Chain A
């Protein structure tokens, strides 16, 4: 008799888990049901795995060494993707560049995410005048020509380095997130659990951080995956123009920047084309996975 009860209990828990899977499980289920998403995920893991493990195989000091006897060599067995204007191996730079671009993309996404989330939560939680003032400021920031502002800031900031670049980018990239979070927080603050907490005297920051935030977290995850690809695009784009990463830091944008010279575009395609295609493939993969996560967060759209 006792045994059957325990079995039933286990079964019940199992059934409960199956019917109400965690967000991570739902995402996983959504990804394996979407052919594009699963292919993208595998491809992404391969690309990033190679890029992040590449320092183990690639001698980074040798990679930076200029060798004038080896300038602009087309692809060969020694240099899989040929060499650049300094005789440096393009494939090695591609791997290190992919790693740097992705890391910076993540850093910007996280920093911009934290700023946007805090701004949106505060604005939405307090509502009223606070919200009004904060939204007017946000609207103003949104009409600034972002690309131009980032470029100007990059040129006038003294002691410019990777960290300052990440910060400058983050300053302009939290706006959309803040607006999204704010509109959801405005709905959330009307709900009973928030009112109950307020009545109990829970400090506002605790309500925002431990009660509101968990309920908005799926929204944040979805938004962050989708903006990650965009942020990598912005970083490589600015580096391409010459206003992103400081010289000497390999990035996919640095390699694509070779294409600013028509002769190189046409005759030395191996220096820039692989980097351009890698950016494209990485962004597509991140987006396809992101779309699956987005569907997972919205029960009406799920495929699984």
Chain B
């Protein structure tokens, strides 16, 4: 067990190094560097001056020296300076991170709130009308692109019915810390969270349904029934204990989806998070911010996948053999 965890953690290291290398090369390929930023709007700069600055910023060093310096700074939390916002990227991101974390957290919770009961119902009463309904929902949600669904939610619930605000993360002029503030935040979160969660439940429902169907006729379940355990308890005590545990591990894999989803969701609901910041920065060609965001998201996915693998291996020893 310990050996697996250790090995799985070690795999993460080359993954992170490769990730940083790819992102560094991407950053190099982006037009503009520290010098273009420093000289923006200064037509008087002579080539000699520019050359001096280039030397000062170390832009004439070989790529691996530059990469090492960049990585060293990134590890210490220095992700550079945003030109459009005129402040350190870390400060800029810190101001947005809370909103995105809140959005992902609630989306994750709602995914399980929807998926677990539906998966259990579909798995326990296979081929009932409820199962057929759930399977149809699963088909439809699988086929629906997130951005189309989010737009339809926005149109119906924010514009046609007017039940929810159509953008932002909180009403302006509400003092933070008050009850009204909490209510306002919840109202702003509702549509983005529901849009993301309703589409993202698919995998979990399907997994749970298939797993319960698999377990239903296993020997240990038959033994329990033969001993006279009531059917309801067979499910709660025996089957669910086996089927539900792996579900916990899926959140790590969901992170990839949540990150790419946040780009769409936050843009559609003009929700002030990292996804929206990413699109804004791309539009403004503020590539220091873009690089930092890609690096953070990539790292989050690598760590999330590792955690999932480890949790799964604890729950399901068969995986460790691989």
Which residues of A approach B to under 8 Å, CB–CB?
139-140, 143-149, 151-153, 155-156, 229, 233-234, 236-237, 240-243, 256, 259-260, 262, 265-266, 269, 272-273, 276, 279-280, 283-284, 286-288, 291
Contact = CB atoms under 8 A, between A and B. Distances in A.
B139 interface: yes
Interface stretch (B82-90, B148-156, B172-180, B212-220): B148-156
Which 5 A-B residue pairings sit nearest by Cβ, starting from the closest? A233-B145, A147-B260, A287-B143, A145-B297, A266-B159
A265 B154 contact: yes
Given A148-B293, A148-B297, A241-B264, A256 B305 contact: no
19 contacts: A140-B18, A143-B256, A145-B298, A147-B263, A149-B26, A152-B30, A233-B145, A234-B145, A240-B264, A241-B147, A241-B264, A256-B148, A262-B167, A265-B155, A266-B155, A276-B148, A276-B152, A279-B148, A280-B143
A283 B22 CA distance: 33
Nearest to B290: A152
Nearest to B160: A266
A288 B145 contact: no
Given A155-B282, A156-B26, A279-B148, A143 B143 contact: no
Interface of A, secondary structure class, is: helix
Nearest to B285: A155
A236 B145 contact: yes
A288 B152 CA distance: 21
Contact of A151 (B142, B159, B167, B282): B282
Contact of A288 (B139, B259, B283): B139
Contact of A156 (B31, B148, B278, B297): B31
A156 to B, nearest CB: 5
B60 interface: no
B236 interface: no
B34 interface: no
Contacts of A156: 26, 29-31
A132 B19 CA distance: 19
A270 to B, nearest CB: 12
A280 B26 contact: no
Contacts of A260: 267-268
B151 A276 contact: yes
Nearest to B167: A262
Given A145-B294, A272-B151, A284-B140, A237 B159 contact: no
Given A152-B282, A229-B143, A145 B154 contact: no
B279 interface: yes
A266 B259 CA distance: 28
Given A260-B267, A279-B148, A148 B305 contact: no
Interface in B11-40: 15, 18-19, 22, 26, 29-31
Given A152-B282, A265-B159, A143 B19 contact: yes
A237 B143 contact: no
A144 B154 contact: no
Contacts of B305: 143
